[in-house]
Structure 1
């Protein structure tokens, strides 16, 4: 798996990173929610290990906004808070598991392994639109059977358009649905992400039409390409 560790204690972050790498996983580590944002925007992770007591935006607030952004990546919360209500809060916000500090490396490894088994065993949640396939459960996409790289914002906008096929959606609706934990996404940013999506999807004949002065529409039919 590719794992993102969000932990501000450098010694603990390094120890967890070494444990996960020894187990064969690929690991990236950041010290705050603010630093996690660009990492999640540029890479697809299979698991997030999230500390609650982060500087700035704390882990609970980050988790809340992560799920509001339709990010379904499993999250294992790490915290020194042992109160039952804190555990319940984390699970209600969308955490998949909860581990209280201090913890033994064997227990962390066991919980990560259990989450990995759960991910491999869950039912695929696929969206199919012509040659485009999005698996929401695995957070992966394919176009004409080839893997399609979609950073978090592009993924979220494409899902929103798929939920509104043949409907014109305004940039304002998109920005309201896909707000950032730092600030609302601007209309200009939406234009950039839609442009990037068009570039990636045009090879498969997927059409995102601009309705001038209103917004965007994902067309039901896709262009049938002639063999070369």
Structure 2
């Protein structure tokens, strides 16, 4: 473990929507290092082009170069490349929001997103993370894991009720995962966002191991949960199956 690399990434990860810019003192406090060490790391990251220091305020912020790693990931990810034609086809034929997500720990991460003209959540972009347990893609991925492995992941999750519709009690969640395994897809109706209906199917790799999930999301104002599931579940199952075969 190269601790200096770890600390450099901790400095970069300290910047987010709640802390878009920070003074040297704030960086040190956010990362948990003394001011002298924070000065060395911010200076190095500034020289490498990943941080910018305002000449007037002396505050630091991320630069566009921090997108480089994400760009290289998106350009080199085999699953995304194979899924793209199906994502585009679903987007064109349904005119609804289409997402491709992967699991990272106990969260799902959006790696591709085609927005509908019927705008849902504009704050969800590529790179957005959500708890896996209350999202259709997360449950779909969990449903393709061995039951013991899925249960172990659930035990690591911070289960809570984001809305009155959230399936968050352990027993109920495990039952939902098992049901999703049987029918081949998962649903989440207003479990994380109010007004959001989603259906997802897992994309599997060699040996049936889940590597991601494809989902369609629509507005509760335009569909009932029953209508949404009947219309779009077969489409995501077919698309996810096609990507899995590739």
TM-score by length of 1: 0.33
Q: TM-score scaled to structure 2, two decimals?
A: 0.31
Report which of the two has the higher share of helix.
Answer: 2
Give the number of the structure whose alpha-carbon radius of gyration is greater: 2
